[in-house]
Chains A and B, each alone.
With several copies, the nearest count.
Chain A
Amino acid sequence: MKTSSFPGRYDSLAKVSEFVVEAARDAGLSSEEVYAVELAVDEACCNIIDHAYGGEGKGELNCSVIIDDGKLTVILSDHGKSFDPRSIPDPKLKVPIEKLKPRGVGLYLMRKLMDEIKYETIPHRGNVLTMVKRKHEDT
């Protein structure tokens, strides 16, 4: 397990990306899978900054990665506001462009991009998001 902490600001996103992309490559994921992890983590970090902390510069983004055979686990934690992911409905897709509201695809993307995703609020540790990406059989 490797862990790194980043200031909860948008300009940390590229650094978080580097950190998880390196781990995803080390885990032997294909380039599509690496991109999936990179995007899911970016969306998750934005949500932490925007919703858990309510803006930039309010708290840390803690990121851990665990590689074990054929899978990568990414754990993101924050000390901001908690929420219940089950209360968030899937976005409406295929809406005519004029009617689109610019929000609400991050969580959906994370679910589609990763194989497992779990959100917990743990006393003293804060909100802990655990996401798993498995290496595809034939890669």
Chain B
Amino acid sequence: MEISLTEYKRCDVVTVNGRVDSSTAPKLEEALNSIVEAGRYKIVIDMTNTNFVSSKGWWTLIETQKKCKRYRRGEVVLVNVLPEIRSSLDMVGMGSYFQIYNDLTAAVASF
């Protein structure tokens, strides 16, 4: 898994390439925590090149979502989630915790 971060005026974009599993989720968690700890709570996860997310990966995103939505100060939104990944997310009822966009620009523009 590779992560890259881009800080924009109103949100941060986290591009996640590859597999998010128990081995790599801690690195994602660290990246997300660094953003939240900087007082930034509007986060776009660009999953265009994410090909696998285990439940450990979803918990990482959900923990960040909780922190971001607290006090209505922000939100984590997802971009371009593979249909297979999305259906596994819906299977455990987690789909409702995230807004999903098909287009990075639209996601960034939502903040």
Physical contact A–B (CB less than 8 Å) = yes
Q: Which positions 34-55 of chain B face chain A at CB distance < 8 Å?
A: 52, 54-55
Classify the interface of chain A: helix, strand, loop or mixed: helix
A14 at the interface (CB under 8 A from B): yes
A32 to chain B minimum Cβ distance, whole angstroms, is: 5
Please count the residue pairs between chain A and chain B whose beta carbons lie under 8 angstroms apart in the complex.
Answer: 74
Q: Are A35 and B88 in contact (CB under 8 A)?
A: yes
User: How many of B's residues come within 8 Å of A, CB to CB?
Assistant: 27
Q: Are A38 and B92 in contact (CB under 8 A)?
A: no
User: How many of A's residues come within 8 Å of B, CB to CB?
Assistant: 31
A106 at the interface (CB under 8 A from B): yes
Q: Are B92 and A11 in contact (CB under 8 A)?
A: no
A residues apposed to B, CB below 8 Å: 9-11, 13-14, 17, 31-32, 35-36, 38-39, 42-43, 46, 49, 91, 93-95, 97-98, 100, 102-103, 105-106, 108-109, 112-113
